[in-house]
Structure 1
Amino acid sequence: MMNRNGMVSKIQTRIRTDPFKNNYDIAGKELGRGKFAVVRKCVEKTTGNEHAAKFLRKQRKGEDCRMDIINEIAILEMAKSNPYVVALHEVYETTSEIILVLEYAAGGEIFNQCVADNDEAFTENDVIRLVRQILLGVAFLHRSNVVHLDLKPQNLLLTSVRPLGDIRIVDFGLSRRVDNVREVREILGTPEYVAPEILNYEPIRIATDMWSIGVLAYVMLTGESPFLGDSKQETFLNISQVNVDYSQDVFEGVSDLAVDFIKSLLIKNPRKRATAEDCLKHPWLCPHPTILEALSETEARQSQSEPESPDSAEELVLQASYTICTSQSDLQAFRKTFIFEESLPEIQQELVC
């Protein structure tokens, strides 16, 4: 069942009302904290399995937001068979909170490697594998007419860092379900990653996510945010005008096929953007063996020319974050121009912020 804002109001998961602490021990430091939520690592007493517990406040700014949380649960249920969407284990409810017990992704946000230097940064082969996983998860959502609406490095986790693990898509607090009957128009998302149609208050569609994936691929390959300006006004203007730098200086060492992939997504008209299914057939993600060999040789040459970090032998241990975090810019809304509903909960993660 879906309301006029594209939010799903029915769930299958049984909401437990017995005390959460009877069944779980809180382990270690918080994974994240925001205005309306806290994410903590927890251990299930009966099994010893690690999970991430997302404590969500039902009352926010004086309003009852329980249905927003129900919508998030419903989307997680819908995607439970997809390996690249974070798994929902259990749900608890108290008088003031709803607690989502989620899969724990120990590798943390991909943001950390997007902005890393030298040997800690993603190689192009890494990005090919991870973007393919993101697309497999998003294509699954889109087949159910679900739009994530907040795809960005902070909402994409890794199961491990070394060796590089697999993707888990998280934070469905802004997700909506769209169909051909009703139009959903809302100003939602994170400024650097929102599509032009969001800024123009046009109907949300599954193509809206594809713009964000184009931005993601750009950031993962270059470590730079394509539309980030000195102010939110400038960022929004860059998005509206599709001001993108595809110069060799930015994409040094990156294949032409990767740039072509990004160009197929950063298109102002959403009807002309590649779909998730189209992207999965793109030659950059389905390369010929000789292309893979060329990429590997290029990456090998680059690694040989770079001095080895004295800390390269040390294992990088990162905490996992399960929702929005400010990154290269202040992600609060530029409310004088556009009214952005902030991702909920607005988690701040100490490793990045």
Structure 2
Amino acid sequence: MMNKNGMVTKIHTRIRTDPFTSNYELLGRELGRGKFAVVKKCIEKATGKEHAAKFLRKRRKGEDCRMDIINEIAVLESAKANPYVVALHEVYETNSEIILILECAAGGEIFNQCVADNDEAFTEKDVIRLARQILTGVACLHRNNVVHLDLKPQNILLTSAIPLGDIRIVDFGLSRRMDSVTELREILGTPEYVAPEILNYEPISTATDMWSIGVLTYVMLTGESPFLGDNKQETFLNISQVNVDYSQDAFEGVSSLAIDFIKTLLLKNPRKRTTAEECLNHPWLNGPADPYTQLHASSLPSLDEPETSQSESEPESPAPSPELESMGFVPDVDLKTGRNAFSFTSEPFPTRPEIHKELIC
């Protein structure tokens, strides 16, 4: 069952109401923290197996957000057979929280390697392997009509860091299910990674995720965020105009096939972007690459530091994004009823956009 906003309202997982601590022991160490969630490592007492417990607040900014969490559970259920999506083990509910017991991805975020120094940075061969896994996982989601809508380095975890393990896609708090009848328009995601159609409040589709994968691949190969500007208006303008640096300096040591791959995704027209299935047939992902060349030598300040490790973004309605707030922008309109979101046609640019719904980070 799905509502008009693409959120699934029915789940099959049993929600337990007995005390979480009767069956699990918290290890005390936080794996990550967001505005409305905290993730901690725990051990299942019966098996001794490690898991990640994600504690999600049901009330956020005075609103009941239980259905947002139900939607996240439903998406994880539908991805049960997907080898590259974090596995859901159990669900508990208290008066104030819902607790998701998830697979523990011990290697942390790929973000850490994206900004690592020379010895720990990805090689192009590493990126090819990880990109294939990300695309395989996303292709499976898209076949089930699910869009993630917040794909970024902080939401791609590794089963191990050394040796480099496999990826797990996490944080489905913003995910939506598509159908062939209803058009979905949402203003959500993380500013650096959102597609132009999000900013222009145009219909979203599986192609919206593919733009984010293009940005993600750029970051993995260069250590730089392609659209991040000095302020929020500059970031949005860079996205709207698809201002991307494909220079030799930016892609030092990177193959031309890798650059071509990114160019098939960072296209303003969603219909022209390659699909996840098509990407898997791209020559870059199916040919030889130098297994030893490190791609970027040092941590770069252009990338925003992540808030969390196991899972980051949470639906924040109706509050404005903390990233927008941190950039000095707090919208002065009713976030529930505003229109003409993020229009880039007005002169002079930038102007303060009126937001229909907030960008969520």
Asked if 1:322 corresponds to 2:311, the answer is yes
Residues 157-196 of structure 1 aligned to structure 2 (within 5 Å): 157-196=157-196
| 1:180 aligned counterpart, secondary structure | coil
Asked if 1:337 corresponds to 2:353, the answer is yes
In 2, distance between residues paired with 1:323 and 1:181? 31
Residue 149 of structure 1: aligned partner? 149
Residue 283 of structure 2: aligned partner? 283
Asked if 1:63 corresponds to 2:79, the answer is no
| 2:236 aligned counterpart, secondary structure | helix
Contact preservation (8 Å) 1:39, 1:53: yes
1:29 offset after TM fit, Å? 1.4
Give the letter aligned to residue 43 of structure 2.
V
Residues 74-153 of structure 1 aligned to structure 2 (within 5 Å): 74-153=74-153
Give the letter aligned to residue 70 of structure 2.
I
Asked if 1:212 corresponds to 2:212, the answer is yes
Give the letter aligned to residue 55 of structure 2.
F
| 2:218 aligned counterpart, secondary structure | helix
* Gap change, CA 1:338 and 1:254, over 3 Å in 2: farther
Contact preservation (8 Å) 2:126, 2:291: no
**1:194-229: CA deviation from partner (whole Å, max 9, x where unpaired):** 000000000110000000000000000000000010
Give the letter aligned to residue 74 of structure 1.
A
Contact preservation (8 Å) 1:104, 1:320: no
1:338 offset after TM fit, Å? 5.6
Task: Say what the alpha-carbon RMSD is for the aligned residues.
Answer: 1.9
In 1, distance between residues paired with 2:35 and 2:128? 35
| 1:101 aligned counterpart, secondary structure | strand
| 2:154 aligned counterpart, secondary structure | helix
Residues 232-243 of structure 1 aligned to structure 2 (within 5 Å): 232-243=232-243
In 1, distance between residues paired with 2:51 and 2:359? 25
In 2, distance between residues paired with 1:32 and 1:332? 21
Residue 251 of structure 1: aligned partner? 251
| 2:323 aligned counterpart, secondary structure | coil
In 2, distance between residues paired with 1:63 and 1:128? 42
1:38 offset after TM fit, Å? 1.1
Contact preservation (8 Å) 2:215, 2:225: yes
| 2:291 aligned counterpart, secondary structure | helix
| 2:47 aligned counterpart, secondary structure | coil
Contact preservation (8 Å) 1:154, 1:324: no
Asked if 1:73 corresponds to 2:68, the answer is no
Contact preservation (8 Å) 2:210, 2:274: yes
| 1:27 aligned counterpart, secondary structure | strand
Give the letter aligned to residue 312 of structure 2.
T
Give the letter aligned to residue 296 of structure 1.
P
1:342 offset after TM fit, Å? 5.2
Name segments (4+ residues, structure 1) moved above 4 Å: none
Residues 14-33 of structure 1 aligned to structure 2 (within 5 Å): 14-33=14-33
* Gap change, CA 1:85 and 1:25, over 3 Å in 2: same
Contact preservation (8 Å) 1:108, 1:158: yes
In 2, distance between residues paired with 1:112 and 1:248? 24
Residue 349 of structure 1: aligned partner? none
Give the letter aligned to residue 26 of structure 2.
I
Pick from 296, 314, 326: which aligns with 2:291?
Answer: 296
Q: Which runs of 5+ in 2 are unaligned?
A: 298-307, 315-321, 332-351
Q: Which runs of 5+ in 1 are unaligned?
A: 307-318, 347-353
Contact preservation (8 Å) 1:7, 1:71: yes
| 2:324 aligned counterpart, secondary structure | coil
Give the letter aligned to residue 263 of structure 1.
K
In 2, distance between residues paired with 1:121 and 1:324? 25
* Gap change, CA 1:233 and 1:172, over 3 Å in 2: same
1:116 offset after TM fit, Å? 1.0
In 2, distance between residues paired with 1:193 and 1:296? 28
1:331 offset after TM fit, Å? 2.6
In 2, distance between residues paired with 1:338 and 1:322? 29
Contact preservation (8 Å) 1:59, 1:96: yes
1:32 offset after TM fit, Å? 1.7
Give the letter aligned to residue 86 of structure 1.
V
Give the letter aligned to residue 321 of structure 1.
Q
